[in-house]
Structure 1
Amino acid sequence: MPHPAIKSLSIIVLLLIFSSTTLVSAQTNTTAFSITGTLRDEQKAPVPFANVVLFQQSDSVQVTGAVSDEAGKFSIKAKPGNYFIRVSVLSYADKKIPRVVVANQDVSLGTVSMKSSAEQLDEVVIKGQKSQMEMQLDKRVFNIAQDLSNIGGNAAEILDNVPSVAVDVEGNVSLRGSQNVRILIDGKPSGLAGISSPDALRQLQGNLIERIEVITNPSSRYEAEGEVGIINIVLKKNVNQGVNGSFTLNAGHPANYGGSFDLNYRKNKINLFAGYAVNYRATPGRGSSFQQFWGTTELGLDTTFSYAEINKRTRGGISHNVRFGMDYYLNDLNIITGSVLYRRSDGRNSGRYQFDDFDGNGNLFQTVLRREEEREPENNIELSLGYRKEFAQKGRSLTADFKWIETDETELADYEEQRPEALIIQRASNTEDERNVIFQLDYVHPFGAKGKWEAGLRSGNRRLQNDFLAEQQNEDGNFEVYSGLDNNLIYMENIHAAYLMAGNKFGKFSLQAGLRGELSDITTQLPEENITNNRLYFNLFPSAHLSYEINKNRSVQLSYSYRLSRPGFRDLLPFSGFGNTRSLMVGNPMLNPEYTHSMEGGYLLNWENGSILSSAYYRHRTGVIQRISIVDSVGFRRMYPINLSTQDAFGLEFNVSYTLQNWWRLNGNLNIFRSITNGEYEGQSLYADTYTWNSRVTSKMTFFKQYDFQAGINYRAPRNIPQGRELSTYSVDLGLTRDVLKGKGTLTLSVRDLLNTRKRRTIIDEPDQYSNSVFQWNARQLLLTFNYRLNRNKENKNRNNQENSENGPDDGDF
């Protein structure tokens, strides 16, 4: 029998071939003519990069459009008929050209005069200063290019600068304090987002990213996966006519060298796009800890034991990201998009651990040194095919998407442990192979003046296999399997979903509600232990969004969603690492999903010089997955995930943007929340009640009309966890930028973590163990970046990328 994904792909290809053949045949019967013109301002200078849109005269339906080139010229193809044209561009008043009649010849409009608008120019200044965050009905959009500390960084570093989002030293992403967040690329799962490895985000260069979308209460349109919501990373893609693009080079200390480009070529019905990024890094990390364990054996012998650890690690290597694709416009209403994305990384990691062991009286009795050298090659390839059909009725659309993801990663490590009595040689291999096949169909149908309903189907097949083996060299020089560290895990996941949702605007009220059904068929196998765990369950996930526009400057939003979080792949692995044998991160193949009810209310206030968005939220979770620390018989720790009972989280969040002067603006975020976790494990209470907060404040100034300077402060307050406490952390980031080469290039100098304080500090205090640890991955980073834009200015690039992204159906207001 053929694979289900192959059958789905065959059906899609046949549909696309049929549609394209029919549509192309239909359009050959009518000749299209050109409508041309040249845009000039009041000083007779050309007006480039303006949006020129053609509408039908009879019903004002949008037909097609174009963008003026650097000389202000534009050209639009149109069939015979009666039309009007609307021209819009930053800093100019909109221009309407009525009564454009196309008969049996090309139409020349000659010179079209554009007038500067002082009122609109003021509006542009305010919007530009607030453009780091934009509000939509069910998400917040962060245009990351406006944040100087993001330039030259990778995806993990960029996410760490987004309000409400944090990335820990291991690369795990959390939103509003929870790591149960779904990360997507262009609205879909991707190996670039770290489906099975959080380190993947460090290998995705920020120069390929256009914007970040944070969806704290997703509608039924999205997958139900993710307790606190979805983070969508939108990659760059441009559809301007002709050739345009950007090129970036960066160099930094500690070792951080790279370059990238993204290019776009648009002519008539074809739009070609491509991007490439290469980066070499050697990121140092260091930490220390003190561990103490005490108790007695069955014979009454004292087992009190403690040790101090000092570790130094380096994580790095070279990575390549390649992306290319094509849009083919069958006509003005039908488009086919195909793209290929490939990533290759060759990681080189090393570590040195020193353990000073103390007896029950606190006397040092031995020192152990452990060294690690690891190679980590990885390949990721993604094939995407999409079809989008627009209808004559504005806002009505049908999209079909197919995606194939293949990932293979191998971790090969050699260990040398020097003890007083012997030299121990060990090695470990960890192979991860993953395949994802996704098909999605979405339909949007407007009704009335402001309403629309949507429906969709989605089917996803995912298979992962992880083979872990640790060995130790014996006296004869041969390697033998290390006891208990030979595991093979197979994870198979089939998720089938359908959704229906509708929304409308009633005066000042906007309402959107939906229902999603998901059938989950998940199997976890441990062949060597003959263990199979199969889960088959069906769930309904409702969502609702309500907004009320008090006036043009004030609005209120309410939302609700029901979601689930399936265990992550790393949480299921029995073993995935062997670097520090005294503190192993292990998984639990028997984990169950957790479920979340999420409610949120928001108030948005805009005024002449700024805006503030205040939100209150509540989440109730069941089956909460929490890592706990287990002490084995030797006195070493294992970090082990289990399903606790419940968790309730209450929070207040504030996002503020304020313009002090034309040259100085401030952005701030404050998230205050309380989290109550209640559960037990093997008779041990794991209750935690914490009040905590985190904040980020950014100040951006323009000096001498040439230099932009930015300073940002991040702070994460201490918080209680089920077995102890995480201490506070803070950091300061700086950036300075200047445009060069007549505005076509930009130089940026940035410093991340100026004071070298971004460290994770944790205390575990239990009846049988005590731990105090400090660790830092990303030390202070100095980075110099040069960006050159080809036929693309900054404002135009941002606007067009946002309007033409490929992340699924339109999410605009009703």
Structure 2
Amino acid sequence: MKRTLLLLPAIACLSLSAFAQVPVDKTVSLQSVEIQGKRFGGLTGGEVKRLQVDSNLSGLTGTTADVFRLLPSVVTDIEGGITFRGSSHPGLLIDGVPYGLMEEYSGDMLIQLPALFFDRVSMTATPSIELVPDGDAGILNLSSAAYTVGDSPLVLTLGTGFQERYNVGAVLNLHPGKFHVVGKYNYRREYRKRTFSKSTANKAGTTVMNNNATARPDVHLADLSVGYDLTANDLITVYGLYSLMDYSRYGKIHNNKLVDENLQPVMFRHRYNDQRQEAYAAEARWSHAFDNPQDRLSVVFNYNNFGYDEDNEYKNEKPETGKIIAEDNYYVNQDKNNYYLSAIYGKLFADDWRLRVGYIGRFKNESYYAYGNKLAAGEWQSDPQKENEYNFNRRTNLLLAALEKKWGSFYAEAGVQGELNWQKIDTRYKIDDV
């Protein structure tokens, strides 16, 4: 089944906002990680908060999910899932760019990522007009602080804790001649144990399910930024990122069923799960300052890929005899390719008037395939109920313009976006005829 959506003509969105900037120095302790921020009260009722994670060696004991918990209106669960202003689908960006890595499985990354890898965390319920307006409740953005010649050229970190928790990282900071080189690497491993319980009652009786799962995820994350001062007004930067998360997980589901308060035969369901999440990105940026340093042109091109591979094997055991009475499996493969291009020009006029105009293009290709088998009469047979396949393609072209004005501590902005969006969904469900 194919679904094609084309939006014509361009959609115009008008944004008006005014803020009274009231700086409030705040310092909150998070396992020795210092977070500093300023609060901006808006006449529209919205708020903007920017938090800066201090470069502190002891900060490696905290994760990005821990930092998010300190943000007002943000809630994170034990698995790293984020709820922002009541929505579980906020926009998650890395340095202003959408990544496939930060979509469905972002929770796995956030509970493993040390807070110091991306040491700037910002959130806004009213996103800048320079951002693609994805998400249901604003934007959460991760970025890195700018390293200078005055910073240490090499930083090594090593941490260990309970539950087989290990963390090792390194930051390389070099500035030879006109080059600016910053490379980071972090490895993290821990032992996870989760217990879930669920009770379901119906006319047939009451079923109590206890699910116990253990996992040992290995997480590698590295990035490299190389900047070059082409001229006094031009900085060219190339950036690369690589992430790998590999799970080995075992779970045991213990089902108890009561009928008229009599315990029925019990069944154990074993789950053996391997999961691999791999992502990489390549990016180029050009920043040009005109005669007035406040007048600037910024161009960004980013390509990022995310791959997800999950293998599941299930075995049903009869506890009275220890015999395996049924077996099945389930496999998932997903691949995402994201292309992002933006060109933004900003010019400062007299009396603190500022104009910004630009273009944003976002192009996404995604494929997903899931299938499964079951063991019947000693032979493996495909299970149509577990089969699902789709391809998703989207092309977004966006033009923007914004006019800003400052009066001392007051700030006002009016902006407009015109968006042309095309997307196509191709789904296939293979179900045998009844």
Who is 1:320 aligned against?
A: 220
Conservation of the 8 A alpha-carbon contact between 2:315 and 2:326: yes
- 1:367 corresponds, among 231, 250, 266, to 266
Q: Shift in Å at residue 283 of structure 1?
A: 1.3
Matches within 5 A, 1:2-401: 127=25, 129=27, 132-135=36-39, 139-145=48-54, 151-194=60-103, 197-240=106-149, 244-294=153-203, 304-359=204-259, 361-401=260-300
Whole-angstrom distance in 2 between the partners of 1:408 and 1:129: 38
Q: Shift in Å at residue 128 of structure 1?
A: 7.5
Q: Shift in Å at residue 508 of structure 1?
A: 5.6
Who is 1:480 aligned against?
A: 381
Whole-angstrom distance in 2 between the partners of 1:525 and 1:419: 42
Query: Given the alignment of the two structures, is residue 418 of structure 1 paired with residue 317 of structure 2, yes or no?
Result: yes
The 1:293/1:489 distance shift into structure 2, 3 A limit, reads farther
Whole-angstrom distance in 2 between the partners of 1:448 and 1:213: 30
What per-residue deviation string (whole Å, max 9, x for no partner) do you get for residues 450-489 of structure 1? 120101111111111111112111222x211224111112
The 1:422/1:254 distance shift into structure 2, 3 A limit, reads closer
Partner SS, residue 449 of structure 1: helix
Letter in 2 for 1:385: A
Stretches of 4+ moved more than 6 A in 1?
A: 146-149
Conservation of the 8 A alpha-carbon contact between 2:222 and 2:242: yes
Whole-angstrom distance in 2 between the partners of 1:192 and 1:205: 16
Conservation of the 8 A alpha-carbon contact between 1:354 and 1:370: yes
Conservation of the 8 A alpha-carbon contact between 2:57 and 2:157: no
Conservation of the 8 A alpha-carbon contact between 2:59 and 2:116: no
Conservation of the 8 A alpha-carbon contact between 2:199 and 2:207: yes
The 1:425/1:236 distance shift into structure 2, 3 A limit, reads farther
Worse-matched range after superposition: 176-185 or 383-392? 176-185
Whole-angstrom distance in 2 between the partners of 1:220 and 1:529: 43
What per-residue deviation string (whole Å, max 9, x for no partner) do you get for residues 626-654 of structure 1? xxxxxxxxxxxxxxxxxxxxxxxxxxxxx
Letter in 2 for 1:218: P
Query: Given the alignment of the two structures, is residue 428 of structure 1 paired with residue 327 of structure 2, yes or no?
Result: no
Partner SS, residue 351 of structure 2: coil
Matches within 5 A, 1:776-791: none
Q: Shift in Å at residue 422 of structure 1?
A: 6.1
Partner SS, residue 98 of structure 2: coil
Worse-matched range after superposition: 184-193 or 408-417? 184-193
- 1:498 corresponds, among 395, 399, 411, to 399
Structure with greater strand percent:
2
Q: Shift in Å at residue 526 of structure 1?
A: 1.5
Whole-angstrom distance in 2 between the partners of 1:277 and 1:262: 9
The 1:456/1:438 distance shift into structure 2, 3 A limit, reads same
Structure 2 residue runs without a partner (length 5+): 1-23, 29-34
Whole-angstrom distance in 2 between the partners of 1:443 and 1:245: 35
What per-residue deviation string (whole Å, max 9, x for no partner) do you get for residues 717-743 of structure 1? xxxxxxxxxxxxxxxxxxxxxxxxxxx
Whole-angstrom distance in 2 between the partners of 1:388 and 1:486: 47
Matches within 5 A, 1:595-610: none
The 1:497/1:350 distance shift into structure 2, 3 A limit, reads same
The 1:264/1:489 distance shift into structure 2, 3 A limit, reads same
CA RMSD of aligned residues (A): 2.5
What per-residue deviation string (whole Å, max 9, x for no partner) do you get for residues 223-251 of structure 1? 21122210011134412258524221111
Who is 2:32 aligned against?
A: none
The 1:364/1:148 distance shift into structure 2, 3 A limit, reads farther
Who is 1:15 aligned against?
A: none
Conservation of the 8 A alpha-carbon contact between 1:237 and 1:273: no
The 1:422/1:516 distance shift into structure 2, 3 A limit, reads same
Partner SS, residue 366 of structure 1: coil
Whole-angstrom distance in 1 between the partners of 2:60 and 2:409: 40
Q: Shift in Å at residue 265 of structure 1?
A: 0.6
Whole-angstrom distance in 2 between the partners of 1:163 and 1:517: 31
TM-score normalised by structure 2 residue count: 0.84
Query: Given the alignment of the two structures, is residue 517 of structure 1 paired with residue 418 of structure 2, yes or no?
Result: yes
For the pair shown, which has the larger CA radius of gyration, 1 or 2?
Answer: 1
What per-residue deviation string (whole Å, max 9, x for no partner) do you get for residues 111-137 of structure 1? xxxxxxxxxxxxxxx957476222358
Letter in 1 for 2:248: R
Partner SS, residue 462 of structure 1: strand
Whole-angstrom distance in 1 between the partners of 2:278 and 2:384: 31
Letter in 2 for 1:213: S
- What is the aligned-residue identity percentage? 19
Whole-angstrom distance in 1 between the partners of 2:105 and 2:352: 41
Q: Shift in Å at residue 281 of structure 1?
A: 1.5
Conservation of the 8 A alpha-carbon contact between 2:100 and 2:338: no
Whole-angstrom distance in 2 between the partners of 1:149 and 1:244: 18
The 1:209/1:371 distance shift into structure 2, 3 A limit, reads same
Partner SS, residue 209 of structure 1: coil
Conservation of the 8 A alpha-carbon contact between 2:55 and 2:116: no
Whole-angstrom distance in 1 between the partners of 2:39 and 2:172: 29
Q: Shift in Å at residue 195 of structure 1?
A: 5.3
Whole-angstrom distance in 2 between the partners of 1:254 and 1:371: 23
The 1:147/1:387 distance shift into structure 2, 3 A limit, reads closer
What per-residue deviation string (whole Å, max 9, x for no partner) do you get for residues 380-415 of structure 1? 110000100011113110011000111222101111
Conservation of the 8 A alpha-carbon contact between 2:25 and 2:38: no
TM-score normalised by structure 1 residue count: 0.46
Query: Given the alignment of the two structures, is residue 459 of structure 1 paired with residue 361 of structure 2, yes or no?
Result: yes
What per-residue deviation string (whole Å, max 9, x for no partner) do you get for residues 283-324 of structure 1? 111121211134xxxxxxxxx332011111123321111111
The 1:372/1:150 distance shift into structure 2, 3 A limit, reads farther
Structure 1 residue runs without a partner (length 5+): 1-125, 295-303, 531-814
Q: Shift in Å at residue 424 of structure 1?
A: 1.0
- 2:340 corresponds, among 432, 438, 444, to 438
